Structure 1
Amino acid sequence: MSFLGKFAGALALLALFVLALFWGLGAMVEHKLAGPDPVTIVSGSLQGLREQNRLSAFAARYVAVSTSTQSQYGLTSQKTLIMPGNVEYRVDMAKLTARDVTWDAKTRTLGVTLPPIEVSPPQIDLTQIREYGEGGLLSAISDADARLQAANRAAGQRELIRQAHEPVPMKLARDATRRAVERSFALPLSAAGLDATVKVRFADEAHDNSEVWDTTRSIAEVLGNRR
């Protein structure tokens, strides 16, 4: 091969190398300009929430007042019990999957559908229980006191549960949980420089007709298409 032929071949290899270098630099710049991938960030946030198991963002204290009466042998005994209890409102985040999280690239909106709120059994504050009333003669000759106490405690438990499931505390619990989950997704996105809107709803809530939840793609579908 002549010197000119070798020189031309070397130039061709050099040109290819330069083109490859420019292509690599262009791809890197394009990646930098495109910014971080929101789906990757959301997937990390989702995994973090799932690892929390049950998320408790709201708790409340209720007071039940119950009165019971026992009659026997022509005698009557009556007692009133005041029983406070604490209740936690939780969401089982382990049930949250990638199919419950959607990303709309056009509107940059992240939609999250949470499992329903779970209300914990009331935790009775035994130090604050108060009992009023006199058993009288009936208590002295029978187990009326024990039966009155058992009846009042059972009624008090039912009353605490009823209060805990009232519409107002349930709404407060949903709103507090919604804000906590929105922050969990929004903060990492914002830290990465991504301007996104996060909307959270519960699976047992009615759909808002102003929001289109069924046309966005779940994170699971997005990730599936990448494989």
Structure 2
Amino acid sequence: MEPRRVKRTAIVAALLIGLVVGALFVGVARVSDWFDPGTDPESIAVASLQSVREQARLTPFVARFVTVVTSTQSRFGLQAQKTLIMPGTVRYELDLAAIDEQDLDWNAANSTLTVTLPPIEISGPEIDLSQVQEYSGGGVLMALTDAEKTLDMANRRRGQQSLLEQAKAPVAMRMARDAAKAAVERSFALPLRAAGIEATVVTRFADEGGSRDPSWMDRSRRVEDVLSERQKER
């Protein structure tokens, strides 16, 4: 394969949604045991929040990208060129511990709980060294100088940057955000449903716009108070 015929960038694969969603569901199941039908939705939401925060971090989406970069050096009238094909895996994470009561908004009029999420964080890329491929030309210059080392360093640096740029592309970020929103929505919806409350849970990121009115949180009880009350009733 000739280096010039290789495309500069290519997304090879994407999508491993909900790597730790199962862990969220375990916490949700525990929360649902605390409440009987008739419990007010505010208390359920606050207790669900504690369970979600205990999960610490959520990895709702994983994507694999491939980058192709070429670097060239010229010295003494000679030229050397190396092309690097480098695959890498990127994890999109959500800091669940960063969600607090001010990020919850219960609208009693339409029975809707809105949860505002912290920004998605990108971890990686993790390079799959077993799949890295290199093509080179200009062996004379590389044999006589350190051109090959210089080209390798340049390609690795540019390759890492290219993978991150692909990871931050609108399509990939949208898929990661949608996966995170769906996972968190389920973690708040299930306890409400278990308590017999017909409610809609909507998750959003702060940069998506929309108004927030968390005033109901001023009337909500602390999680500790809710749990203490439930223990006394038993």
Quote how far apart the aligned CAs of 1:121 are: 2.4
2:29 aligns with none
CA distance in 1, matches of 2:218, 2:51: 16
Q: 2:166 aligns with which of 163, 178, 182?
A: 163
Structure with greater Cα Rg: 1
The one-letter amino acid of 2:56's match is N
SS state of the match for residue 39, structure 2? coil
Match of 1:38 in 2: 41
Structure 2 residue aligned with 1:200: 203
Distance in 1 (CA, whole Å) between partners of 2:162 and 2:148 is 21
Pairing 1:1-227 to 2, within 5 Å after superposition = 35-207=38-210, 213-215=211-213, 217-223=215-221
Q: Residues 218 and 124 (structure 1 numbering): CA distance in 2 closer, same or farther, change over 3 Å?
A: farther
Q: Is the 8 A contact 1:135 1:145 kept in 2?
A: no
Matched letter for residue 147 of structure 1: T
1:5 counterpart residue number:
none
CA contact (8 A) 1:135 1:144 kept: no
Cα distance in 1 between the residues matched to 2:98 and 2:183: 17
Distance 1:220 1:123 in 2: 44
- CA shift at 1:221, angstroms? 4.3
Superposed CA RMSD in Å reads 1.9
Aligned to 1:210: none
Q: Answer whether contact 1:55 1:91 (CA < 8 A) is retained.
A: yes
Distance in 2 of aligned mates of 1:56 and 1:77: 42
For 1:75 and 1:132, how far apart are their aligned partners in 2? 18
Identity of aligned residues (%): 52
Distance 1:61 1:137 in 2: 36
Q: Which amino acid aligns with 2:130?
A: T
Cα deviation, 1:62-89, whole Å, max 9, x if unaligned, reads 0010000011111100010000000011
Please list the CA deviations of residues 187-221 of structure 1 after superposition, one character each: whole Å capped at 9, or x if unmatched. Answer: 111111110000110012233xxxxx334534354
Residues 130-179 of structure 1: CA deviation (Å, up to 9, x unaligned): 00122411011111111111101100001001000011111101110000
For these two proteins, the number of residue pairs brought into alignment is 189
Secondary structure of the 1:217 match is helix
TM-score with structure 2 setting the length: 0.76
Report the Cα distance in structure 1 between the residues aligned to 2:58 and 2:188, rounded to whole angstroms: 14
Q: Hey, what's the Cα distance between the residues in 2 that align with 1:204 and 1:90?
A: 17
User: When the two structures are superposed, what TM-score results if normalisation uses the length of structure 1?
Assistant: 0.78
In the TM superposition, what is the alpha-carbon distance from 1:127 to its structure 2 partner? 0.8
Matched residue SS, 1:193:
coil
Moved more, 142-151 or 37-46: 37-46
What is the SS of the residue equivalent to 2:208? coil
